[in-house]
Structure 1
Amino acid sequence: MFSQIYYLILSRVDGRYLVAQPNARDREMGAGYLLMFRERFEALSYLNSHAADLSDRFAVESVSGTQLKGLLQRWGFHGVGIVQDPLIPKIEFLSYGG
């Protein structure tokens, strides 16, 4: 996981990352699971499939596995959601215990 490059969706409006909040409790606390994609085209496909009319408000940013810990700590995410299939979407959630 640490040697791989992941792709994140970032809002051009407010600089926030796209997150999943699978539990109502997460919505109340504000932080959720950082959505990550294994390929850039998967992130773009996700945007085009689920937010085509808003896609110009987002950018795709790459991050290395070694940068993830700092990113998770800085933003207070509960963990990551690795998108397995951007069209359905199918997401594998991993909690961060740091």
Structure 2
Amino acid sequence: MFSQSYYLIRSRADGSYLVAHPHGDEKAKDEQRSSPSFLLLFREHFDALSYLNTHASGMADRFTVESIPGTQIDNLLKRWSFTGVGVVQDPLIPRIEFLSK
């Protein structure tokens, strides 16, 4: 996992990363901040773009795709207090493999 590069989706407005909150309650925004959050990682640049175009086509221009080396993932998880990562296996369905640190 650490020897390759991954791609992240980041908001152009506030710089936050696209994350998943498995089993989160969509009604409670304040509770969502304390619920486990997993940073979404894509193996290819085009997978991240496919995810945006499929699930946020009207807002895709509000996000950017950036790359990160695998060696920097742990530092990013600590800095933003993420629970772990969600590696997107299929951006169209989506199928995500969640890994906790």
Instruction: Pick the aligned partner of 1:42 from 47, 59, 65.
Output: 47
Q: Equivalents in 2 of 1:28, 1:64: separation in Å?
A: 26
- The within-5 A match list for 1:36-75 is 36-75=41-80
* Count of equivalent residues: 96
Name the structure where helix makes up a greater proportion of residues. 1
Q: Provide TM-score, normalisation by structure 1.
A: 0.93
Shift in Å at residue 24 of structure 1? 2.5
- Tell me what 1:2 maps to: 2
1:27 CA drift (Å):
1.8
Of 21-30 and 56-65, the range deviating more from structure 2: 21-30
Q: Which runs of 5+ in 1 are unaligned?
A: none
Distance 1:42 1:73 in 2: 25
- Alignment-mate amino acid for residue 10 of structure 1: R
Contact 2:12–2:63 (CA under 8 A) maintained in structure 1: yes
Unmatched segments (≥5 aa) in structure 2: 26-30
Letter in 1 for 2:16: R
Q: Which stretches of structure 1, 4 residues or longer, exceed 2 Å deviation after superposition?
A: 23-26
Superposition map of 1:72-91 within 5 A: 72-91=77-96
The answer to whether the 8 A contact 1:4-1:64 is kept is yes
Counterpart Cα distance in 2 of 1:53 and 1:93: 27
**TM-score, L = length of structure 2:** 0.90
Identity %: 62
Structure 1's 76 and 51: CA in aligned 2 closer, same or farther, altered over 3 A? same
CA RMSD of aligned residues (A): 1.5
